[in-house]
Chains A and B, each alone.
Chain A
Amino acid sequence: MQLTEIRIAGFGGQGVILSAIVIGKAACIFHGGYATMTQSFGPEARGGACSAQVILSDEPILYPYVTRPDILVVMSQEAYTRFSPELKDNGLLIIEQDLVRVSELPEGTRLFSVPATRIAEELGKRMVLNSVMVGFFGAVAGLLDPDSLRKAIADSVPAGFRELNLRAFDRGFDYGTAAVPLVAENSEHEHEHAAKYFDGV
């Protein structure tokens, strides 16, 4: 695992911080690498802007902040507007399909989208959208083995919600697994896909 900078951003209450904790924990406890997680501390509350940063590596991490993320996960339009210019060229952008409309993107961006909130609602609890997102991230980023991520989720959520969160993870992961070949094999198709959901990208 090369040094990989990840930023996750959205509204307070979407589970942004917990997603970052799960990814960091998966990397440094269950996957055997290193992870440093930091979060923005400001007057954030439920509904306000919220972001977390995770750095993953095989080596100990020195500088704790993300400067140009390799991977950006956004779950709100505000987060997209604020953070998408930071994304590295040829970076990976993961968006919540129903909450983010994509416009200009840095050079060579690989874009993936998932209706995480809708999937979570289908499972009966909107709150697990972050676990759907982590599952989707696991599949499309391919950095961490899914077992590590599942263990990290099981370790991070209250016992009563473990099963539900793991189901949410699996749904997101399956959605991501299906999305990978679609994007990898045919980049034009990706744009059609994006256009279909994002109202004229």
Chain B
Amino acid sequence: MHADPRGVLTGVHFLDGDHACCEGALTAGARFASGYPITPSTEVVERFAARVPTLGGIFIQMEDELAASIALQGAVWGGAKAFTVTSGPGFSLMMEHIGYAAMTETPCVFVNVQRGGPSTGLPTLPAQADMMQARWGSHGDYGIIALCPNSPQECFDLTIQAFNFAEQFRVPVMLMMDEVVGHMTEKVVIPPAEQIEIFPRRHTSKPPADYLPYETNGDMVPEMAHAGEGYKFHITGLTHDERGYPVMTVPAQDKLVRRLQQKIERAADEIALYEEEKVDDAEVVVVSYGITSRVAQRAIELARAQGRRVGKFRLITAWPFPEHRIRQLAQRTKAFVVPELNLGQMVREVERLAGGLSRVLPVSHAGGGVHRPEDILQAILEAAS
């Protein structure tokens, strides 16, 4: 289906990434957000709070991040598309309810505009150090999806994509922005509503008497019914059966938890979006994401000017990680260079998949700024030598 034109601000705008993210959410059909505003993500909900009442929606400023991250899930089960927005300290507090969304298969979006950590760290300055937390932050085994925009335009586009993936797979999706992308202002083109594809809610077509909330047919993703529609359903964070009722047995746990992980893993090639440039005959491939991908691009161009064959691999989806493609590239490239605004997180995935076939050089940065292109260049030259 197409986007509801009432929420779509079609036109050419000069927006920062936070505002573009808000417009993406409105375009995707989000009509509810609960938040506990925090720098550098505040502008997303500030704009949403001003815009959404005119579309019949609601923003609630909750008492803390625990409340913010669960109120939105109530809205989803009431029939809304909903999200919350935060940064590092709030993301940490939301972990419990990200697990709840994964366990109850509540389609929703968590936006994290990353700043320097740990703890309150650097409120106004960038980092990319919550990448592993996004994947593994809540306890237990589950699958999630995480996307990494590198421009305000992508903040718009990938927010829509995040909502679409959330609905398609009934999973919490993390939009892992960073402070630079959130606060930089660039041209953002918002197309007409009829050109924007929206994945609709997987609402059941069965009559209430035949409906089982967690029954799946082949594709591992159950259909939803909303509260108040006459369907009987039960939602719990406890291990549950197809009726949604708690069942504390090894087989029930095995069946449910494996499905929560496999519904994402089996679709990984479809979900794992990336951008490549000149990787086929590259001696070195630079793997990066978010704002770092733009700094890396400059380093790549400097290295090419020196006659090096350097490929670019930009992660658009961080989780699930594009495992197949990195394995393929490891067969023929001499080395990977992985700059990121942390002390080495996604580089571990590259190392694991390179499997010793090619060298992997991290270019770490503790956050608070972006890399100097020369530092990435130096790593490329070292990798190529």
- In the complex, whether A21 has a CB less than 8 A from a CB of chain B is yes
Interface size class of B (residues with CB under 8 A): 20 to 34
Contact B187 A34 (CB under 8 A): yes
Query: Which residues of the partner chain B approach A34 to less than 8 Å between Cβ atoms?
Result: 186-187
Query: Which residues of the partner chain A approach B184 to less than 8 Å between Cβ atoms?
Result: 36-38, 64
- Mostly helix, strand, loop or mixed at chain A's interface? mixed
**Nearest CB of B to A57, in Å:** 11
Query: Which residues of the partner chain B approach A28 to less than 8 Å between Cβ atoms?
Result: 14, 186-187
Q: How far is the CA of A64 from the CA of B292 in the complex (A)?
A: 10
Q: How far is the CA of A24 from the CA of B186 in the complex (A)?
A: 8
- In the complex, which of the residues A36, A39, A42, A65 contacts B186, with contact meaning CB atoms closer than 8 Å? A36
Which residues in chain B, 291-319, are within 8 Å of chain A measured between CB atoms? 291, 294-295, 297-298
Contact A41 B124 (CB under 8 A): yes
- In the complex, which of the residues B13, B185, B187, B294 contacts A38, with contact meaning CB atoms closer than 8 Å? B185
Q: How far is the CA of A24 from the CA of B13 in the complex (A)?
A: 11
Contact B186 A62 (CB under 8 A): no
Closest to A20 in B: B185
Q: How far is the CA of A24 from the CA of B183 in the complex (A)?
A: 14
- In the complex, whether A25 has a CB less than 8 A from a CB of chain B is yes
Contact A64 B187 (CB under 8 A): no
Tell me whether A63 and B298 are in contact in the complex, defined as CB-CB below 8 angstroms, given that A24-B14, A35-B14 are known contacts.
yes
Query: Which residues of the partner chain A approach B149 to less than 8 Å between Cβ atoms?
Result: none
Contact A64 B180 (CB under 8 A): yes
- Over the window 9-39 of chain B, the binary record of Cβ atoms lying under 8 Å from chain A Cβ atoms (1 yes, 0 no) is 0001110000000000000000000000001
Query: Which residues of the partner chain B approach A180 to less than 8 Å between Cβ atoms?
Result: none
Which residues in chain B, 136-187, are within 8 Å of chain A measured between CB atoms? 179-180, 183-187
Contact A65 B370 (CB under 8 A): yes
- In the complex, whether B373 has a CB less than 8 A from a CB of chain A is yes
Q: How far is the CA of A38 from the CA of B291 in the complex (A)?
A: 13
Query: Which residues of the partner chain B approach A42 to less than 8 Å between Cβ atoms?
Result: 124
**Nearest CB of B to A18, in Å:** 11
- In the complex, which of the residues B125, B185, B294, B298 contacts A37, with contact meaning CB atoms closer than 8 Å? B185
Which residues in chain A, 19-75, are within 8 Å of chain B measured between CB atoms? 21, 24-25, 28-29, 34-39, 41-42, 61-65
Tell me whether A35 and B187 are in contact in the complex, defined as CB-CB below 8 angstroms, given that A28-B14, A29-B12 are known contacts.
yes
Q: How far is the CA of A52 from the CA of B294 in the complex (A)?
A: 20
Q: How far is the CA of A25 from the CA of B152 in the complex (A)?
A: 14
Which residues in chain B, 179-216, are within 8 Å of chain A measured between CB atoms? 179-180, 183-187
Contact A62 B187 (CB under 8 A): no
**Nearest CB of A to B152, in Å:** 9
Contact B180 A38 (CB under 8 A): yes
Closest to A38 in B: B184
**Nearest CB of A to B229, in Å:** 44
Query: Which residues of the partner chain B approach A25 to less than 8 Å between Cβ atoms?
Result: 14
Among B125, B185, B370, find the residue whose CB has the most chain A CB atoms closer than 10 A.
B185
Contact B294 A21 (CB under 8 A): no
Query: Which residues of the partner chain B approach A62 to less than 8 Å between Cβ atoms?
Result: 294-295, 297-298
Query: Which residues of the partner chain A approach B179 to less than 8 Å between Cβ atoms?
Result: 41
Q: Give B contacts to A, CB under 8 Å.
A: 12-14, 39-40, 124-125, 179-180, 183-187, 291, 294-295, 297-298, 370, 373
For the A-B complex with A28-B14, A34-B186 known, give 4 more contacts whose Cβ atoms are closer than 8 Å.
Answer: A36-B185, A37-B186, A41-B179, A63-B373
A-B contact pairs, 13 of them (CB 8 A): A28-B186, A29-B12, A34-B187, A35-B187, A38-B184, A41-B124, A41-B125, A42-B124, A62-B295, A63-B373, A64-B180, A64-B184, A64-B291
